[in-house]
Amino acid sequence: MLTHNCFKCWILSIGLLFLMGCESTLDETNSKNVVCTTNILANTVRQLLPDDIDVVSLMGPGVDPHLYKAGQGDLEILQEAGIIIENGLHLEGKMAEVFKKLQKYKPVISASDGIEKGELIQIEKEVYDPHIWFDVQMWKMSSKLLSERLALEFPDRSEEISRRSDFWASKLDSLHLWIRKEIEQLPKNRRVLVTAHDAFSYFGRAYGIEVKGLQGISTQSEYGLKDVSDLVDYLAENKVPAVFVETSVSEKSLVAVIEGCKRKNHNVIIGGQLYSDALGGKEEPGDNYKNMVSHNVKTIVGALNSGSDEG
Ligand SMILES: [Zn+2]
């Protein structure tokens, strides 16, 4: 009996040794892959890293990161990830616990660490607006931090990463200037952006547009009848011609606002669909960061410029 047990132990140990051996060979042969939470991050990181390094996104087109929970498949991807990149500032609110655990075993980099606290829009004590990608200059800061951290993770590729990072920064600079020029086409009293949730505060601050959302910075927050009637009053008083829906948020919340305006004899149209917290799918207008931002700007300027003034 004793011998039999010992034999079982021996088989088990050999098995374990074999498994451990396999693991270390895998680590040596596979280069680290990078797993990002949102596709906005993945697209940005893709610009920074050499093409042969794998970059994947957990969340696809139209997915709302505020409500996203990691499923079993995601947990497996995260377990196997070499490096994890998140936005931070509680954008991925329901994944915080998972990242806290994984941080003990692998680097978890937050893009928002690239921005100084003083630059962030504070909502309440220790709560900051996470939608940093809509101020292109701020996204340049985040991208720089990501490239620096990634260069440390891939030391033998650091030169290429730094070269790519400079090129990306120059692309972001031109995008930033282009947005400024586009917004200048709008008369000052038309520079008002109304959406379902407050994803555009950094955009508004950077490019001189007043921004109003129905739901607050997270799609988890509730809105009440008072929020709807306040927004209706604002739109009617300021003769705002259009409101905008978002690809990752239900447009239901804005229907009540449009109806309310009608009752006040102010006609508000849906000016188009904006990408807020996720890129669009392949062959959609917002299929990468630059296209997403320029699609939004064209949609906003087009709708606010064409709306009719009412008496
Ligand atoms: Zn959001």
| pLDDT tens readout for residues 283-305 | 999 999 999 999 999 999 999 99
CA of 121 to the centre of ligand 1 (A): 14
CA of 26 to the centre of ligand 1 (A): 38
Report the alpha-carbon distance of residue 165 to residue 17 in Å, rounded: 42
CA of 97 to the centre of ligand 1 (A): 19
Q: How far is CA 105 from the centre of its chain?
A: 24
CA of 131 to the centre of ligand 1 (A): 6
* 3-class DSSP assignment, residue 287: coil
pLDDT tens digits for range 216-274: 767 777 777 888 888 999 999 999 999 999 887 778 878 989 999 999 999 999 999 99
pLDDT(22) > 50: no
Output the pLDDT for position 307: 57
CA of 266 to the centre of ligand 1 (A): 28
Give the chain's domains with CATH numbers.
13-174 (3.40.50.1980), 179-306 (3.40.50.1980)
Which helix (DSSP H) or strand (DSSP E) does residue 128 occupy?
Answer: strand 127-128
Are the C-beta atoms of residues 279 and 43 closer than 8 Å to each other?
Answer: yes
Report the alpha-carbon distance of residue 201 to residue 140 in Å, rounded: 17
Strand 127-128 relative to strand 122-124, pairing: antiparallel
Mean pLDDT of all residues in 194-200: 89
CA of 133 to the centre of ligand 1 (A): 11
Closest CA relative to residue 150, chosen from 83, 77, 58: 83
CA of 199 to the centre of ligand 1 (A): 5
CA of 277 to the centre of ligand 1 (A): 5
Q: How far is CA 59 from the centre of its chain?
A: 10
pLDDT(25) > 50: no
Report the alpha-carbon distance of residue 65 to residue 220 in Å, rounded: 10
Output the pLDDT for position 309: 52
CA of 248 to the centre of ligand 1 (A): 8
CA of 113 to the centre of ligand 1 (A): 18
CA of 2 to the centre of ligand 1 (A): 62
CA of 129 to the centre of ligand 1 (A): 9
Are the C-beta atoms of residues 212 and 234 closer than 8 Å to each other?
Answer: yes
Phi, psi of 268 (to 5 degrees): -110, 135
CA of 194 to the centre of ligand 1 (A): 14
